[in-house]
């Protein structure tokens, strides 16, 4: 049966068609997707924290409403992605346990602090911008539930990116102090946002297989340089600069060249030693404990309903 399943799986991949939850799939495919999709879900949930910190301090009612909507969207993305991950066979409480015990990764970017209101602009523009550049190709991922989830998520990320851009634009056109605050936020988030695309291709153990399985469509470095090209023009409109002395377009390769990134810092953040890792996980554990009564009530209600039905 495995042999027939493998042959059918290979055929679906060769046709660039989709694998669905009930289809036979190699264990490695199931495992790498569970890893990537659940880590993506964890990123959305942990990613609520830097911005949630600023909801009470948003400079106007309108800004507050927009920021609240964005953070709620991220919660929605997380739930959506956990559902997609569960179709691969691992229940959500197990995935959650992996996050709370620090065994599962989530995006490095959310371990950096959001210090000023301008950081809401830089996060929207650069972090959501990088998320879109990485996730648009994932809409064509070979695993059906993941690809379909990505389509909806990318639509919302586009709104997020525009709202961040608009915050920076307004600050940049404001007082000298506001413009300085915007530039400072961009300076701090530029390099970490480039690291969101993952390690350089030569140090990316999962890329080759994930590309062969049509999960990833482009390499980490390829997406990174594309993203840089996108933001170069947008930075001009913003009247802000990117803190990268090596930044240029290389005619010969048709690619954007950027400065070398500090991969030691990236490794430290992944190992749990970034500026906010401990705080982010601590907050998530507290939120999980605070929600215990909701889970208990939902389970009791479900048991009662089942009893009645029986
Ligand atoms: N941070 O072999 P590769 C968002 C890990 S957007 C932490 O290249 P792969 C929206 C990687 O997991 C952020 N870990 O791995 C939002 C692997 O470790 P493992 C989330 C990283 O999977 C905006 C190891 O390094 N987006 O949340 C990172 O082929 C604003 C080796 O790396 C996604 O998750 C990193 N930056 O490629 C929310 C997108 N990079 O698991 C709130 C989907 C790599 O073997 C506010 N994911 N690692 O132990 C992907 O596209 C891929 O998983 C990559 C990594 C490209 C991230």
- Give the separation between CA 167 and CA 66, rounded to whole angstroms: 11
Residue 258: which region, alpha, beta or left (left: phi > 0; alpha: psi -120 to 50)? Answer: beta
The pLDDT value given to residue 129:
98
The pLDDT value given to residue 110:
98
- Give the separation between CA 46 and CA 277, rounded to whole angstroms: 10
- Give the separation between CA 263 and CA 265, rounded to whole angstroms: 5
Choose one of 107, 121, 207 to mutate for the ligand 1 pocket test, by most ligand atoms within 8 angstroms of C-beta. Answer: 107
CA of 102 to the centre of ligand 1 (A): 15
Query: Residue 81 burial (CB < 10 Å; 0-12/13-18/19+)?
Result: buried
For residue 66, which of 123, 22, 14 has the smallest C-alpha distance? 123
CA of 135 to the centre of ligand 1 (A): 11
The pLDDT value given to residue 200:
98
Ligand 1 lined by 161 (C-beta under 6 Å): no
Q: Whose CA is nearest to atom 48 of ligand 1?
A: 198
Ligand 1 lined by 210 (C-beta under 6 Å): yes
Confidence band of 172 (pLDDT split at 50, 70, 90): very high
For residue 214, which of 35, 93, 33, 68 has the smallest C-alpha distance? 33
Query: Around Cβ 168, how many Cβ atoms within 10 Å?
Result: 29
Query: Residue 186 burial (CB < 10 Å; 0-12/13-18/19+)?
Result: buried
Percent of the chain surpassing pLDDT 90: 99
Query: Residue 165 burial (CB < 10 Å; 0-12/13-18/19+)?
Result: buried
Choose one of 31, 39, 127 to mutate for the ligand 1 pocket test, by most ligand atoms within 8 angstroms of C-beta. Answer: 39
CA of 293 to the centre of ligand 1 (A): 32
Q: Whose CA is nearest to atom 30 of ligand 1?
A: 128
Ligand 1 lined by 270 (C-beta under 6 Å): yes
Ligand 1 lined by 108 (C-beta under 6 Å): yes
Confidence band of 197 (pLDDT split at 50, 70, 90): very high
Q: What are phi and psi of 47, to 5 degrees?
A: -65, -10
Give the chain's mean pLDDT: 97
Q: What is the mean pLDDT of residues 45-51?
A: 98
The pLDDT value given to residue 244:
98
Q: Whose CA is nearest to atom 26 of ligand 1?
A: 40
The pLDDT value given to residue 57:
97
ipTM for the complex shown: 0.98
């Amino acid at each position: 049966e495995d042999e027939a399943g493998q042959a059918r799986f290979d055929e679906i991949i060769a046709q660039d068609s989709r694998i669905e939850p009930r289809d036979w799939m190699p264990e490695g495919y199931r495992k790498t997707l569970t890893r990537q999709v659940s880590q993506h879900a964890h990123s959305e949930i942990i990613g609520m924290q830097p911005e949630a910190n600023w909801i009470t301090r948003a400079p106007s009612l309108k800004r507050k409403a927009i920021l609240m909507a964005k953070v709620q969207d991220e919660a929605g993305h997380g739930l959506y992605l956990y559902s997609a991950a569960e179709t691969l066979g691992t229940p959500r409480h197990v995935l959650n346990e992996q996050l709370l015990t620090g065994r599962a990764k989530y995006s490095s970017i959310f371990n950096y602090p959001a210090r000023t209101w301008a950081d809401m602009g830089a996060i929207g523009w650069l972090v959501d911008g990088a998320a879109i550049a990485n996730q648009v190709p994932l809409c064509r991922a070979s695993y059906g539930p993941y690809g379909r989830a990505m389509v909806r998520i990318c639509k919302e990320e586009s709104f997020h990116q525009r709202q961040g851009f608009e915050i920076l634009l307004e600050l940049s056109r404001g007082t000298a102090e506001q413009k300085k605050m915007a530039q400072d936020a961009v300076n701090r988030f530029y390099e970490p946002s480039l690291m969101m695309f993952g390690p350089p291709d030569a140090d990316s153990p999962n890329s080759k297989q994930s590309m062969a399985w049509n999960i990833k469509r482009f390499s980490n470095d390829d997406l990174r340089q594309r993203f840089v090209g996108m933001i170069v023009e947008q930075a001009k409109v913003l009247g802000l600069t990117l803190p990268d002395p090596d930044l240029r377009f290389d005619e010969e390769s048709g690619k954007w060249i950027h400065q070398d990134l500090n991969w030691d810092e990236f490794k430290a953040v992944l190992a749990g030693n970034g500026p906010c890792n401990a705080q982010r996980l601590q907050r998530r554990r507290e939120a999980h404990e605070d929600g215990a009564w909701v889970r208990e009530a939902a389970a009791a209600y479900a048991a009662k309903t089942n009893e009645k039905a029986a």
